[in-house]
Amino acid sequence: MLDRLTSMKIFIKVVELGSFAAASQNLTLSPQMVAKHIEALERHLGARLLHRTTRRQSLTETGRLYCEQCRLVLKAVERADSLAANTLGTPRGTLSVSVPVTFGRTVLLPFVHNFQKKYPEIQVHLSLTDQLVHPTMDGHEAVIRIGELEADLTAVSRPLTAYRRVICAARTYLEKHGFPGQPDD
């Protein structure tokens, strides 16, 4: 089956230039290929688009209506392509990230500030939580966690940076309560 959008473009060119021969020359296609595209459209629609004689051709009423709609469709496709191309040039949208509280405050917030200066069209939603979240189920594009991943979590992971936590206490506190023996203490 021939590509319908291509067939629509060829059909419009035939209508604009008035003949298969002129369209084929303009599009650098053989007249037979132009005819195949028109026949494919007519077969698909179950209706004739053009009255053809050996000397001239003209649009049928269906062909006239179809040509108008084809022009609208092709303009819409061009707009969609243009929109997509424009979004590729400038990143925009929303980025939802979940990070542990202390890492987010000490490491990530300065990074996010610089990121938003560089990409002002991106809205960053930062969720600071020490709760384990599932990246896709909880609606985040990225999740940063400290430590090993759960074995059953199917996610792509990359180490970002070394992160060290230090527990500090005043000497008077330690003298009164003693030294902790393990992290939970």
What would the pLDDT profile of 96-150 be if each residue is shown by its tens digit? 888 889 888 888 888 888 999 998 988 998 889 888 777 666 778 888 888 776 6
Total domains in the chain come to: 2
Of 176, 108, 99, 172, the closest CA to residue 138 belongs to 99
Is residue 72 assigned to a domain? yes
Residues 99 and 168 grouped into a single domain: yes
The pTM of the full predicted model, rounded to 2 decimals, is 0.49
Distance CA 114, CA 86 (A): 23
Of 35, 69, 87, the domain-final residue: 87
Is residue 39 assigned to a domain? yes
Distance CA 152, CA 85 (A): 38
Is residue 137 assigned to a domain? yes
Give the model's confidence band at 153: pLDDT under 50 very low, under 70 low, under 90 confident, else very high: low
For the chain, helix (H) and strand (E) counts, in that order, are 7, 5
Domain of residue 28: give its range. Answer: 4-87
Residues 138 and 173 grouped into a single domain: yes
Residues 32 and 80 grouped into a single domain: yes
